[in-house]
C-alpha cells in the first residue's frame, strides 16, 4: 500500500505501482490483467509477483469501460423466492457456482424472478449488459426468459435441458431418465410391484425425464401401467405430502413410491406415517437428488445422487467458454443410486 502526500493517508496501489515494482511498462501490466496475450512468461511472473507484493486490486469499473464487459455473471432462479429458501438443491448449486467462478475472480449475482413482472425487470437488466452471462436454474416450458436472453445474444447456460429450445441453448444436466430407471429397477428387485410415483412439474425437463424413466422400466418388466399410481408434484415438501395422500386414496395397495425429489419425499414419508404405513416394511420410498433433505429424513432416504459439484463446475466452464466466443454446448452427467433405510 502506498502513502499519499496528504495527511499520511494510505491510497490503494495503482497499475503504475505494479509496473514500477515489476520493472515493466504499464502496457505490459495491462496486457497481463487482460489475459496475458503477447507477454513473456518472465514478464507475466514479474507482474503477478508485483501484484501480490503491492496488494493491487483490479478496478473492475475502469476495466469494463475498456473491455465492454461487466466481469460478473448472473445466477437466475425463475421460481418464487420462498422456493429458494426451502429447496436445498438451489443453495448447493449456488455455492458450487460461486466457488467455481471465484477461481476465475468473477463475482456471481443472485437474481430471483418468480413472477412475470420480476422476470421482465431482470431480463431488461441482463440485456442492458450488467452481467456477461447467465446461469439459468429451473426453467419451465412457456417461460420466455431463456428464449429472450438467447435472442438478445446473452451467453446462457441452463441447469437441465430447456424444453423446446433444443441445441440453441447450452445446458448441463444430470441423466434424469437413467437415474429414474435405476430407482425403479431397485424397487422391482425388492419385490415391489405396485410402485407409485410423485412426479416433478411436467413443464420442466427433470419432471418429464424422470417420469419417462419410471414408465420405461415398468414396461420392460411387463408391469401394467396404472395411471392411478402416478400423481404430480412441484418439488415442494407440501406437494409430496398431498401427492402421497392422493396415491393412498387412489391405490391403497401401493407398496413403493418413487418420488422425483428428496424434499417431496420428506412430505411422502409424513403422509405415510400419518396413515399408519411403515417405511420400508409396508411401503418403500425412493427419492431423487441426494440433497441434505435425504439424510435429514426419517428414515434416511434411498435416493438418486446428482453430481452437484460437477454440475456447477461444468455450468461455469461452459458459460465462460461461451463468453469467450465458443458455440453452445451440452453436458449430461451420470447419476448414482444411493441405498439407505427407506427401501
Tens of pLDDT, residue by residue over 218-252, are: 999 999 999 999 999 999 999 999 999 999 999 99
In this prediction, residue 88 carries a pLDDT of 83
What are phi and psi for residue 98, nearest 5 degrees?
Answer: -60, -45
Q: How far apart are the first and last CA of the chain?
A: 61
Cα torsion through 315, 318, 322, 326, rounded to 10 = -160
The pTM score is 0.77
Residue 234, beta-bridge partner list: none
- Judge whether residue 205 has pLDDT over 60: yes
> CB atoms < 10 A from the CB of 340, how many?
17
pLDDT tens per residue, range 144-197: 888 888 888 899 999 988 877 666 789 999 999 999 999 999 999 999 999 999
Query: How is the chain split among helix, strand and coil, in percent rounded to 5?
Result: 50, 15, 35
Where in the chain are the domains?
A: 15-58, 73-175+308-334, 176-305
In CATH, the architecture of 73-175+308-334 is 3-Layer(aba) Sandwich (3.40)
What does the block give as the cell for 237?
A: 415438501
In this prediction, residue 319 carries a pLDDT of 94
Q: Whose CA is closest to 197, among 308, 309, 286? A: 286
In this prediction, residue 36 carries a pLDDT of 62
216 or 6: whose pLDDT is higher? 216
The model's confidence at residue 5, banded by pLDDT at 50, 70 and 90, is very low
pLDDT tens per residue, range 109-147: 999 888 889 989 999 999 888 899 999 987 666 668 888
In this prediction, residue 71 carries a pLDDT of 81
* Helical spans, DSSP H, in the chain: 15-22, 26-33, 41-54, 60-67, 81-86, 88-102, 116-125, 145-151, 176-189, 205-220, 237-250, 262-274, 292-296, 308-323
- Helix, strand, or coil here: 108? strand
DSSP class of 31 = H
> CB atoms < 10 A from the CB of 225, how many?
10
In this prediction, residue 312 carries a pLDDT of 96
Q: What is the mean pLDDT of residues 304-316?
A: 96
pLDDT tens per residue, range 238-295: 999 999 999 999 999 999 999 999 999 999 999 999 999 999 999 999 999 999 999 9
In this prediction, residue 134 carries a pLDDT of 95
Q: Which CATH number fits domain 176-305: 4.10.140.10, 3.30.70.420, 3.65.10.10, 3.40.50.2300?
A: 3.40.50.2300
Decide if domain 15-58 falls under CATH 1.10.260.40. yes
Question: Which H or E element spans position 11?
Answer: strand 10-11
What does the block give as the cell for 282?
A: 409396508
CB 114 within 8 A of CB 83: yes
| Domains 73-175+308-334 and 176-305 alike in fold | yes
Question: The dihedral of CA 150, 156, 161, 166: what is its sign?
Answer: positive
In this prediction, residue 58 carries a pLDDT of 64
Buried b / exposed e over 158-179, threshold 16 CB at 10 Å, is bbbbbbebeeebbbbbbbbbeb
Amino acid at each position: 500500500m502506498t502513502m499519499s502526500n496528504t495527511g499520511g493517508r494510505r491510497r490503494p496501489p495503482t497499475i503504475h505501482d505494479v509496473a514500477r515494482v515489476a520493472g515493466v511498462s504499464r502496457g505490459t501490466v495491462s496486457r497481463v490483467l487482460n489475459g496475458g496475450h503477447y507477454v513473456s512468461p518472465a514478464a507475466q511472473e514479474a507482474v503477478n509477483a508485483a501484484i501480490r507484493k503491492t496488494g493491487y486490486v483490479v478496478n473492475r469499473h475502469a476495466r469494463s469501460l475498456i473491455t465492454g464487459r461487466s466481469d460478473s455473471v448472473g445466477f437466475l432462479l425463475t421460481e418464487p423466492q420462498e422456493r429458494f429458501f426451502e429447496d436445498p438443491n438451489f443453495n448447493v448449486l449456488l455455492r458450487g457456482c460461486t466457488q467455481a467462478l471465484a477461481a476465475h475472480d468473477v463475482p456471481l449475482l443472485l437474481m430471483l424472478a418468480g413472477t412475470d413482472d420480476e422476470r421482465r425487470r431482470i431480463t431488461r437488466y441482463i440485456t442492458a449488459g450488467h452481467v456477461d452471462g447467465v446461469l439459468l436454474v429451473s426453467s419451465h416450458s412457456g417461460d420466455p426468459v431463456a428464449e429472450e436472453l438467447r435472442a438478445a445474444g446473452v451467453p446462457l447456460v441452463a441447469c437441465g435441458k430447456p424444453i423446446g429450445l433444443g441445441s440453441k441453448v447450452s445446458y448441463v444436466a444430470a441423466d434424469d431418465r437413467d437415474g429414474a430407471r435405476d430407482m425403479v429397477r431397485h424397487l422391482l428387485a425388492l419385490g415391489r410391484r405396485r410402485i407409485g410415483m410423485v412426479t416433478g412439474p411436467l413443464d420442466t425437463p427433470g419432471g418429464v425425464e424422470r417420469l419417462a424413466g419410471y414408465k420405461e422400466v415398468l414396461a420392460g418388466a411387463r408391469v401394467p401401467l396404472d395411471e392411478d399410481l402416478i400423481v404430480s408434484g412441484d418439488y415442494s415438501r407440501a406437494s409430496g405430502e398431498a401427492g402421497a395422500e392422493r396415491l393412498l386414496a387412489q391405490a391403497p395397495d401401493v407398496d413403493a413410491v418413487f418420488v422425483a425429489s428428496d424434499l417431496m419425499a420428506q412430505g411422502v414419508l409424513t403422509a405415510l406415517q400419518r396413515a399408519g404405513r411403515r417405511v420400508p416394511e409396508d411401503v418403500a420410498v425412493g427419492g431423487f437428488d441426494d440433497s441434505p433433505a435425504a439424510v435429514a429424513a426419517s428414515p434416511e432416504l434411498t435416493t438418486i445422487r446428482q453430481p452437484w459439484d460437477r454440475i456447477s463446475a461444468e455450468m461455469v466452464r461452459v458459460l465462460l467458454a461461451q463468453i469467450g466466443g465458443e458455440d453452445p454446448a451440452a453436458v449430461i452427467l451420470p447419476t448414482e443410486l444411493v441405498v439407505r433405510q427407506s427401501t
